[in-house]
Amino acid sequence: MKILFVCTGNTCRSPMAEGFLNAIAQKGDLDICAASAGVLTHDGLFASENAVIAMREYGIDISPHRSALIRKEAVLDADIVLTMSSSHRDMLLFSFGSEGKSIFTLKEFLGIGDADVIDPYGGDINIYRATAAEIKNLVERLLDLLARSGKYGDEFKKI
């Protein structure tokens, strides 16, 4: 299963979500992977320094990450597309809604409302830490939901 996380610049929130999901999946030997992209970015930008620092505190290195502008191919390649805000979701539904893909905000998919994930861009390290903690919690809930649903295969029963 492939999950695509989407935010604005693909330098903070979505790379953190991708990092958490891939680290948990690798540790648990799960057949799931994450990718990420941004709706308003350029290809090749580094993850923000504070995002890298915040993720290192969890033992996850996202320093090799480079931003990617959202493309139709990435949406088509994903089983689920999860955005960090309702505006991202709405942009993708407008652009790719006819493709029949599952596009939701991360919180909407989890059934906990439609609030945006905190955007730390330009903030201090404590804002990045808060965002990383929020995303970690959401990714753990996502994996738990997938495991309980049984909808996405037996690999999640290992969680």
Cβ atoms < 10 Å from Cβ of 84: 29
Q: CA-CA distance, 59 to 53, in Å (whole number)?
A: 10
Q: CA-CA distance, 148 to 64, in Å (whole number)?
A: 32
Q: CA-CA distance, 104 to 112, in Å (whole number)?
A: 12
Q: CA-CA distance, 65 to 45, in Å (whole number)?
A: 8
**Residues recognised as catalytic:** 7, 13, 119
